[in-house]
Amino acid sequence: MNANSKPVTKMGLCVHPISELAREAVIRLKSLASDRAIEIIELGTESHGPLDFSCEIVASIGGDGTLLNAVRNAYPSDIPVWGINVGDLGYLTISSVEEMGRSLDLLSKGEYWIENRTMIEATVTGEDGRDIRLTAFNDIVVHRHVPKGGMIVLDVELDGRFLGSYEADGLIFSTPTGSTGYNLSAGGSILSPNLPAFIITPICAHSFSARSLVVDDSSVLLVKPKIKALGDVVLITSDGQEIAQLDKCSLRGGTDDPVGCEVEIRRAVRRVGLVRFNEVFFFDVMRDKLGWADGHPKHRNR
């Protein structure tokens, strides 16, 4: 842990689009930042791609969803993200509104450090041969188009070897950071955020034998979806915010294998940075957020 970083003089800002608490926090943040000669540049609520100005960090005011949007803005330019929580849960956001003044003091002095987290990347190949690349902080999900109904079959290869076929609503490919998100809701394991691993978790699988798997994050995964009926669409989502689709996949039970219509999933080349002011013990956060110690006295680390 290195708490000697570049002093912050310019900060990008992503804000929850409808939260009144977030709007109130923005007013306070701007006032506190002005007192410390920190310039604020608002990024809005949509992804803007690479930032074209010299921000040292991007601040996110909202919950984890707002932070995911901030990562989409900051990641292409390799800028770290500071999460300020105004919601109820917040696994990724680390600062409260009440702590903003002290945190801005530390930022202005360079007394913070950056924790790097793994990103996951999907390359979607369609029948026209063109590739679409999606990068995610939490997860890549390959799933059926809900209005069409019916499960899909997902054939998965791991490092060039056949892993298995999943008949399900979809598959979640999660980073350790994302293990507390959609993956957890679907019954996947919680991973310590710095483990070099990905989790593959089926969504409402047809077979009880289809279980969540943990694989090395150096693995390359190839997913080949098969649909129920002509016209069905397979969707690929990145952190639930960016979407690509495959609409010419082979039919379940068919023998044809169209060129393309597959998704390659691997670890992204770079990691994303999260601003930290002190060491965060991950399982302290889990115990508090998930109520593991409800009804018991608080335990102190020895």
Q: What are phi and psi of 261, to 5 degrees?
A: 50, 50
C-alpha–C-alpha distance, residues 66 and 239, integer Å: 11
C-alpha–C-alpha distance, residues 222 and 262, integer Å: 7
What is each CA distance from 35 to 5, 41, 94, in whole angstroms? Answer: 20, 16, 22
C-alpha–C-alpha distance, residues 126 and 143, integer Å: 16
Q: 256: helix, coil or strand?
A: coil
**Pairing of the two strands 262-267 and 120-125:** antiparallel
Q: 53: helix, coil or strand?
A: coil
C-alpha–C-alpha distance, residues 289 and 302, integer Å: 21
Active site residue 232: no
Q: What tokens appear for 91 in the block?
A: 């696994």
Instruction: State the catalytic residue, choosing from 35, 52, 64, 128.
Output: 64
Q: 274: helix, coil or strand?
A: strand
C-alpha–C-alpha distance, residues 234 and 169, integer Å: 10
Residue 272 near residue 74, CB atoms below 8 Å: yes
| DSSP secondary structure, 69-128, as one string | HHHHHHGGGT--EEEEE-SS--SS--EEGGGHHHHHHHHHHT--EEEEE--EEEEEE-TT
Active site residues: 64
